Amino acid sequence: MLESAGVNTVRTYLNRTAAFLAVVLSCMCLSCGGQGKKFGEAVTNRDSTALMTTFGVDMLISENGVVRYHVTADEWKVFDLMDPPRWCLNKGVYLEIYDSLMMVESTLRADTAYYFNRKELWQLRGNVHANNTDGEEFDTQELFVNNTSHRIFSDSAIAVRQSDRILTGVGFESNTNMTEYFIRQTKGIFPVSDATDETDAPVEQ
């Protein structure tokens, strides 16, 4: 008899507990539905979201086990799902190109740079300035560095400052140390002594 009474007491307690929990859950659902509160949204455009962002970049890049590039940049973003995948250095970049003995062949500076790893191609944009070991200077608004063909080229207006003159034109191609080059459409040749401010910076946007 006592055992039966104990079982009934337990059943009554469990039933009351279940009813109480049902009421609480109902109130919670009504409360959430009334406020319309959002707890976050899923990332739908993953291809436009950087896989990694790094600040204060100072790195060496190897090619077939040989260091070829020294890259310095304020910010480096990696977009692995963008078509095509790329690195983005949007806050300025300084690039040194090395030969097989790790001697500097040429240096390049630009406002923005992209590296397309599948194509092994650098794209430098905005106030691109380059130097070779002969002391010559190159100024343009866009320049490409192809790791596969080991060529540097541009389809934009360019100015080349030599020791005694400044060459201007549209379209440019050279080796990676920028000592063997040609300008496709030569626009002018100006003696350095007669160059004005406008001649020093003839590159168009």
Q: How many residues are there in the chain?
A: 205
Task: Name the more confident of 181 and 23.
Answer: 181
- One-letter identity of residue 21: L
Please state the rounded mean pLDDT for residues 102-129.
Answer: 94
**CA 37, CA 90: separation in Å to the nearest integer?**
36
**Pairwise CA distance, residues 140 & 123, whole Å:** 12
- What's the mean pLDDT when you consider all of the chain? 78
Residue 43, in any domain of the structure: no
Q: What is the mean pLDDT of residues 148-176?
A: 94
Q: Tokens for 19? A: 């009813």
Higher pLDDT: 140 or 37? It is 140
Residue 87 lies in a domain: yes
**pTM, two decimal places:** 0.69
Residues 16 and 79 in one domain: no
What's the domain range around 151? Answer: 48-200
The label of the residue with tokens 């250095």 reads 89
pLDDT at 101: 85
Q: 157 and 188: one domain? A: yes
- Are 71 and 29 found together in one domain? no
Measured CA to CA, the distance from residue 99 to residue 102 in angstroms comes to: 5
Claim to verify: residue 144 and residue 74 sit in the same structural domain: yes
Structure confidence by residue, pLDDT tens digits, 53-101: 999 999 998 888 889 899 999 999 999 888 889 999 999 999 999 988 8
* Residue in the structure block whose two tokens are 């949007």: 90
Q: Is residue 166 part of a domain?
A: yes
Statement to judge: residues 9 and 82 lie in one domain? no
In a domain, 128, yes or no: yes
Could you tell me the pLDDT band of residue 195, with boundaries at 50, 70 and 90?
Answer: low
Residue 42 falls within a domain, yes or no?
A: no
CATH code for the domain in which residue 181 is found: 2.60.450.10
Whether residues 11 and 103 share a domain: the answer is no
Confidence label for 12 from pLDDT (cuts 50, 70 and 90): very low
In this predicted structure, the answer to whether residue 194 has a pLDDT above a threshold of 90 is no
Q: What is the pLDDT of residue 45?
A: 65
- H or E, element range at 2: helix 2-35
Q: At residue 31, does pLDDT exceed 90?
A: no
Does residue 173 share a domain with residue 94?
yes
Statement to judge: residues 190 and 149 lie in one domain: yes
Does a structural domain hold residue 205? no
